[in-house]
Structure 1
């Protein structure tokens, strides 16, 4: 890499770390920058997966207050994230490079659509939560009666699904983690959308859980890549340093910062990447 390219990769890592902590889809910043340095797509994906791990960790640590009380849930969902991430990483190296080059434009396009739709998804989640809260305003007697009925029909009551999401959320997050292990861009938005539909939690707590799950997927994929894949140590080091700083800053300002500008940047850079891949 030239000096200019190294600076660009470092700054892309900072941007990706911050965006991942606040919104998700930061790989749409780093991936096209790595491609612009002349790196092959698979090597760029592997280098990016290794490099963004520190950012995932600092982002998760920044939301540690919102993680309180979610340990059991994350333990359960984390097993699916690890399994899915390993499967996706295996597919990345098992499928021929030509297949990856055909699939990636589709994945980038899907990721861009998800980034654009993220505000709508957030509003839909918020409306659903408000409707659930309104429907949950019962008298004390009604509440006790519902608890009694629920105790006689364990496993079928809505409250349980709202707390851990049930098999549907586990299956959905595992499949999303396969996507994340194969191509990480916008996996966090998939997690937020799935958890928002199936869990009664604030968006900040969902975002905190998302950061942990993304860190797990990135970690298991990176551990696999470390031993069996080709990557650029220079790119990994630059993205790691940048993403660690970006994740820390992004987590600190995540409660106050509007993601509109960041989302616009992601779409713009991702659009450039998509055009580049389709040429």
Structure 2
């Protein structure tokens, strides 16, 4: 449920659920697959909670959504075809990168806000080919592992658009949900899934998505980031032990 709140508000919910599954004895790849499937309903629950902010952004979502879908498919294929030993070696580095992004996100957000103010209030529809490529690359990352995918998307969208943070966050929830959704379809078809773990995560993330959309905006960002960093460090220690 906490991961659902975090994913809706800023992202990085995987840094809570993935280490939890490791602590219960799941292998890294099985934990990642089951976690991705479980978080899909929460992503769309959060997006539904932001439906008011999504008004008028249909074309933007369709264009950037294509990048998320294609990137998510490629990331999931890489996870399924690369050896499990590669995942275990790569993931601590990805988690460390995600933690850095979580820490520096306020400065990136402040810089993006200044850039938006300098450019005025005109809305750009879909951000252009560079943003599409960035969303695609984020989709590849999200399909493979996904921790802090939301932070990456918020940074990219915040830099590209002059919209309010809440409108950008609504789009972020849709894009992250698409990545997790297409990856989940491939995982269900081609990989082993712990349905008990995925089901529990799904139930909690649906509730958390609604909480995040309604009251999560009021939670102190510093507290959220502190929890994420502590849990992420624990996951790195667990994987390297």
Matched residue, 1:224: 186
2:165 pairs with 178, 203, 216, which one?
203
- SS of the aligned residue for 2:220 comes to coil
Matched residue, 1:274: 236
State the alpha-carbon separation in 1 of the partners of residues 70 and 218 from structure 2. 34
Paired residues of 1:187 and 1:214 also in contact (CA < 8 A): yes
- SS of the aligned residue for 1:66 comes to coil
Instruction: Say if 2:76 is the partner of 1:92.
Output: no
For residues 119-148 of structure 1, give each alpha carbon's deviation from its aligned partner in whole angstroms, at most 9, with x where no partner exists: 111111111112222xx7xxxxxxxxxxxx
Shift of residue 163 of structure 1? 2.9
TM-score w.r.t. length of structure 1 = 0.84
1:37 pairs with 24, 34, 39, which one?
24
State the alpha-carbon separation in 2 of the partners of residues 192 and 73 from structure 1. 15
Matched residue, 1:164: 126
Instruction: Say if 2:106 is the partner of 1:125.
Output: no
Matched residue, 2:145: 183
- SS of the aligned residue for 1:124 comes to helix
State the alpha-carbon separation in 2 of the partners of residues 171 and 254 from structure 1. 30
Paired residues of 1:87 and 1:178 also in contact (CA < 8 A): yes
TM-score w.r.t. length of structure 2 = 0.97
Equivalent pairs, count: 241
1:67 pairs with 32, 54, 57, which one?
54
State the alpha-carbon separation in 1 of the partners of residues 77 and 155 from structure 2. 25
Aligned-residue CA RMSD in angstroms? Answer: 1.2
Shift of residue 263 of structure 1? 1.2
Q: Which has the larger radius of gyration?
A: 1
- SS of the aligned residue for 1:65 comes to coil
Matched residue, 1:150: none
Matched residue, 2:35: 48
For residues 215-254 of structure 1, give each alpha carbon's deviation from its aligned partner in whole angstroms, at most 9, with x where no partner exists: 1111100011001111211101110111111111111114
Matched residue, 2:227: 265
